[in-house]
Structure 1
Amino acid sequence: MRHGPGHGRCGPEGHRRRFGRDGLHGPREGGRGRGRLGALGRFFAHGDLRLAILHLIAEKPRHGYEIIKDIEQRVGGAYSPSPGVIYPTLTLLEELGQVTVTAEGGRKLHAITDQGRAFLAANRPGLDALLERMEEAGRAGDEGPPPQVVRAMENVKLAVRLRLARGPLTTEQADAIAAALDAAATSVERIG
């Protein structure tokens, strides 16, 4: 197999299948994840999420879950990247030599390498623009629902969709799901 430039493990075809059309910028990240983008439109342009993740890891070594939560917090809940976007991007960054991974209590801790710092420096104008958009979204997010509430609502919707996708429900199962959702709605209404 022929290797891509500067990469010793995979050729361009391997990346195209695994990481997106051009194989350079990780998964097709724009619009992936959960959130209330509204007027912000497609929050991350192609390659922006990779820059954001690398920037966060440059600040301090992080676990994947921390990256998801940090991005969600920085944009005021306007976007919450899914694990299905974050973890493949972290794998790409490792394969490109821009981060290293160490095991820490059964979890992976990602730290930036000199090559990763060089990539950030070479892409500084784009990174600065991205950080400004994230900050702007964070300020706008102060006017919307709290990010933890948005996340919890999305979790409930996802859980229901996943259960429905597994196959037909019996009458008892449908009644149990409806009762759980009705109980949650009643609890929310009583918060006051």
Structure 2
Amino acid sequence: MFGHMHGRGGRGCGPRGGWDRWAAQAEGRFEGFRHEGRGGGGGRRRMFDGGELRLVLLRMIADEPRHGYELIKAVEELTGGAYAPSPGMVYPALTMLAEMELIAEQPSETARKRFVVTAAGEAHLAEHEEQVAMLMARLAEIGAHRARHDRAPIRRAMRNLRDVVMERVEAGDLSDDAVHEVAALIDGVVQKIERLK
């Protein structure tokens, strides 16, 4: 993955711009660990069609009365932050579920509309039980995928490496031998990472 650093010796300890570019490029690779729901180009691919999203929301409301924002956060939490439906998808879906009399607004003293499932909604879920299970499993799998590829610890370690090396370089107290030793240490870590399974 980082094989481009091989053979550069002390060049890795050059101007800050080189290090910043290297760090940004490397961190960009870890940004590639995205699952369905967030596109690599900054946009989002649609996770569900309208009917599937309504089933997911209905299932979550049947589990616990919720309002729109709580549903968005619940989906996001289930996927480990990899996917969250937009308000522009959730609120029209809730309106349709209410018009279909599958959910009903729960009396509340707050401005937020919290919904509960109706008897018709429970029957609808039972009728589509297999599809609902498949959709919820899809969300859970995305969360598991995100957990397996959590890049936060690696990003933190990369920032620490960059910061400590730049601090020593800018202090100007490293001998030529020490500069080469730092480069050798980094190259050694690179080689170990490349051999990881």
Q: List aligned pairs for 1:157-172, cutoff 5 A.
A: none
Does the 8 A contact of 1:102 with 1:110 survive in 2?
yes
Does the 8 A contact of 1:35 with 1:77 survive in 2?
no
Determine if the alignment matches structure 1 residue 98 to structure 2 residue 75. no
Which residue number in structure 1 is paired with residue 134 of structure 2?
129
Does the 8 A contact of 1:36 with 1:77 survive in 2?
no
- Among 74, 84, 87, the alignment partner of 2:88 is 84
Measure, in 2, the Cα distance between the counterparts of 1:42 and 1:92: 19
Q: SS in structure 2 opposite 1:107?
A: coil
The alignment-based identity, stated in percent, is 41
Which residue number in structure 1 is paired with residue 38 of structure 2?
36
Q: SS in structure 1 opposite 2:113?
A: strand
Measure, in 1, the Cα distance between the counterparts of 2:64 and 2:118: 12
Q: SS in structure 2 opposite 1:47?
A: helix
Measure, in 2, the Cα distance between the counterparts of 1:37 and 1:129: 22
Which residue number in structure 2 is paired with residue 48 of structure 1?
52
Q: What's the CA shift string for 1:17-36, capped at 9, x where partnerless?
A: xxxxxxxxxxxxxxxxx952
Does the 8 A contact of 1:99 with 1:113 survive in 2?
yes
In structure 2, the CA distance between the partners of 1:111 and 1:145, relative to structure 1 (3 Å rule), is: farther
Q: List aligned pairs for 1:49-64, cutoff 5 A.
A: 49-64=53-68
TM-score (norm 1): 0.53
Q: List aligned pairs for 1:102-113, cutoff 5 A.
A: 102-104=106-108, 105-113=110-118
Determine if the alignment matches structure 1 residue 141 to structure 2 residue 146. yes
Higher relative contact order, structure no. (Cα contacts within 8 Å, ≥ 6 residues apart): 2
In structure 2, the CA distance between the partners of 1:92 and 1:46, relative to structure 1 (3 Å rule), is: closer
Shift of 1:82: 0.8
In structure 2, the CA distance between the partners of 1:84 and 1:57, relative to structure 1 (3 Å rule), is: same
Measure, in 2, the Cα distance between the counterparts of 1:121 and 1:45: 20
Does the 8 A contact of 1:100 with 1:111 survive in 2?
yes
* Structure 1 residues without counterparts, runs of 5 or longer: 1-33, 147-188
CA RMSD of aligned residues (A): 2.6
TM-score (norm 2): 0.52
* Structure 2 residues without counterparts, runs of 5 or longer: 1-35, 153-161, 164-197
Which residue number in structure 2 is paired with residue 175 of structure 1?
none
Which residue number in structure 2 is paired with residue 70 of structure 1?
74
Count of residue pairs the alignment pairs up: 114
Which protein shows a greater Rg?
2
Does the 8 A contact of 1:63 with 1:108 survive in 2?
yes
In structure 2, the CA distance between the partners of 1:85 and 1:42, relative to structure 1 (3 Å rule), is: closer
Measure, in 2, the Cα distance between the counterparts of 1:49 and 1:118: 17
